[in-house]
Amino acid sequence: MAEVQSEAESLKSKANQCFKDKDYDNAIKYYSDAIELSAGNAIYYGNRSLAYLRTECYGYALSDATKAIDLDKKYIKGYYRRATANMALGKFKAALKDYDTVVKVKPNDKDAKMKYQECNKIVKQKAFERAIASDELKKSVVDSLDIESMTIEDDYTGPKLEEGQVTVQFMKDLMQWFKEQKKLHRKCAYQILVQVKDLLSKLPSLVEISLSQEESITVCGDIHGQYYDLLNIFELNGLPSKTNPYLFNGDFVDRGSFSVEVILTLFGFKLLCPQHFHLLRGNHETDNMNQMYGFEGEVKAKYTSQMFELFSEVFQWLPLAQCINSKVLVMHGGLFSEDGITLDDIKKIQRNRQPPDSGPMCDLLWSDPQPQNGRSVSKRGVSCQFGPDITNRFLEENHLEYIIRSHEVKPEGYEVAHNGKCITVFSAPNYCDQMGNQGSYIHLRGSDLKPTFHQFKTVPHPNVKPMAYANTLLQMGMM
């Protein structure tokens, strides 16, 4: 017995070292091995929970933290970890309950007290929002804007729309202006947002496009506010145009601290090339995520809370999926928690809302592939994981060849799974300045729709750390 415990402790030490080295996948592996040898040790579950938090597997982190608490009711780190996982999942009341437990046990812990107060503030704010929410259709921010009367001051030397329109020159000037860490005038930002909302609201939830034999399209994954890496994509692959179309597959904002620059640039190109520049919604184009992971804080810091409300409205009109030549389906997350969903069902989704906790809209934004057949509970705590058999069945029923999705960091910037029928593309290299991954984008040519992958490394950016605008609960350390 002592030998077994000694081996388990040795595995825990290996895992701890991997964790320090930010090799979270191996940390999880060694913690799991230690748990196999000593399943009654709360610390092993607590440590693995923290490693899962680092890899955004919030569902698994929640489960491990709960198990740690079940094994040892006095294991305070377990309550911390569970609260953090619940916060990440937007389950604020559940998080508050655990922070309350921590504060009662450790009344002099300043960090715990701050987290409790911050979480309590969010819970009260949510309750207030529900109380004042009306059944009537909420008025759009657009109705209360008088953009024409906004004046651009004489000392503003940045880019301006030409007669209210985005042009190629405006986009070039805008990218350079943002590169120098300067702010677009609020009048121009509002002009872009109002126009792009009008444009997106006319699109279906499932956009269908056709490429001729000679045409190709570039598909990019998550950008997450990494503006300088976005500029690098355009440097490597050319600016968007009628002859160089792009599809950006969600998660434009949050985490990276240049999300405003990313989204205004992408919206500008959407207005410049409406038929040849495509944007799909990700799980981070939602209020809950933006409140926690930085975009709301960033917009308020750089502009106003009113502008964030308008961004929120625009995000709700982003399409949920795109079908290329009736053969390739692209969505941010993945496939569905139930069988039998068709392309027609996707077309019928009423998307102009915050996503529900379950159902097809939630799955398109949140689900992940898994190597084994069938479906399982999501590691994220939202939607599900789907196996190769689920992918095959969906493709056969809808006469498709394969799917492209994003939503997950991959060391190489992409991953081909499910016998080539489920492709992940991720375009934020060295994600959050710490993951060390490459970024990639995909070229698809109309003649054969065979994906070709292009990898790239991160480029330097100004010294503004990721999560600089995130909720203070996520900026604070996870005990």
- Taking the C-alpha atoms of residue 85 and residue 402, their distance in angstroms, rounded to an integer, is 33
3-state secondary structure of 404: strand
3-state secondary structure of 208: strand
99, 119 Cβ separation under 8 angstroms? yes
**Distance from CA of residue 290 to its chain's centroid?**
9
- Taking the C-alpha atoms of residue 457 and residue 443, their distance in angstroms, rounded to an integer, is 17
Bridge partners, residue 369, by sequence = 386
- Taking the C-alpha atoms of residue 68 and residue 35, their distance in angstroms, rounded to an integer, is 11
CB neighbours of 68 closer than 8 A, spacing ≥ 6? 42, 43, 45, 46, 49, 75, 77, 78, 81
278, 246 Cβ separation under 8 angstroms? yes
Helices (H) and strands (E) in the chain, counts: 18, 14
- Residue at token pair 């999926």: 321
Of 236, 334, 222, nearest in space to 285 by CA: 222
Catalytic residue among 284, 407, 418, 461: 284
Of 144, 107, 224, nearest in space to 458 by CA: 224
Query: How many Cβ atoms are within 10 Å of 238's Cβ, its own excluded?
Result: 12
- Taking the C-alpha atoms of residue 71 and residue 78, their distance in angstroms, rounded to an integer, is 10
CA dihedral of 445, 450, 453, 454, whole degrees rounded to 10: -20
3-state secondary structure of 12: helix
Active site residue 284: yes
Active site residue ranges: 284
